[in-house]
Structure 1
Amino acid sequence: MIPEIDNKFEKFDSVKYNSRSNLDSRVLRENKLDGCYLEMDKDNTYGWYGMTLKDSYYRITKIYYPNGNIKKKGLSANTGNFQKGVWYEFDEQGNLIKETDYDKPFTFTFEDILKFCEKHRIKINKGPILQSTGWHNDIFRDIQNGKPIWRIEHLKKTNLVEVIKIDGVTGKVLETSSYGYINN
């Protein structure tokens, strides 16, 4: 399930944010009845909104200016936290000023990476992934030396994490390495 993100102006939902049950915490955290997980945060320099959808690999991410107007929005992967698809950026008055397609350099797509993981029995979780719930396999992507690169980190054994580096164009495995892991 890939959520739809549009290029329309919006404002930070101060009413929702101010209704948080724990006013001592700056962060609103809410498990929704439909299985989604909402986080909102705000201070004098920015506002932040993150909605992780049930049964999805994605989180809707929105960042706001101090005046409450949208600064940028798009999808993030809920594992590895990379930007997915088209992101929209706005000036402080709310005018759309930029669209960036973060998928464009990656012809070996996120969906291809998921198939790779399935083939190699690497579990990638859907839905809200909370840090306090133990190890979760992660997928990262980056542009290194002008080339798109995927990186998968998965718990191969209870004490060993394997890192697989994959070409973001061809899907070819470029390198594997590992490091020790101690479960606290």
Structure 2
Amino acid sequence: MAMTDEELFLASMGDVVPLAQDNRAQLEKQKSQPTEAQLARREAAQKELDFDPNFLSTEYVDLLDPHDQLGYKKDGVQEGVYKNLRLGKYQIDATLDLHGKSFVEARQALFEFVVDCQKRNIRVLLIRHGIGLKSKPFPAILKSYCNKWLQEIPCVLAFHSALTCHGGSGSTYTLLKKSEEKKLENREIHAKR
């Protein structure tokens, strides 16, 4: 007489011994706990996030047209100063070229450049971001983010798209605050008059 499927199963499993309850719980604990390597990677990633001094936004930005003119000034900036910046009448002290850089590289480069210029008392910058006609997936992505980022940096007083001879709408004149050193120096010069 032929054995049924159930009988065959029971016959083949006859010598199998179930795991003790403690072993099963221990195996589940081992599976759910991260390895030392995973913990080390998590810790390193968290440190990187905690110590990144770059506060420039990576969130959504309103996209600009590639040929749009950029323009911004904080309250308190005199109209004459802004007009001179807009007309390119100030000497450009430093230039940053962001052409060919990825989003992450451009964000970091712009932040470091502006912070470094502020520390070294450099006041007028030219930032070359390009117009972004061929940028993917949308045109003018980097230009749009530069517009947003420059407004987020506290030491940026004003900025405006450059004259054609300096790159036109693919470049931006940027005016930084005076350092405390320069303010004091200026007061001393004008006090002697």
Smaller-chain TM-score bracket: under 0.3
Q: Please report the TM-score for the alignment, with normalisation by the length of structure 2.
A: 0.21
Considering fraction of residues, name the structure with more strand. Answer: 1
Which structure is richer in relative contact order (CA contacts within 8 A, separation 6 or more)?
Answer: 2
Higher fraction of helix? 2
Larger Rg: 2
**TM-score, normalised via structure 1 length:** 0.22
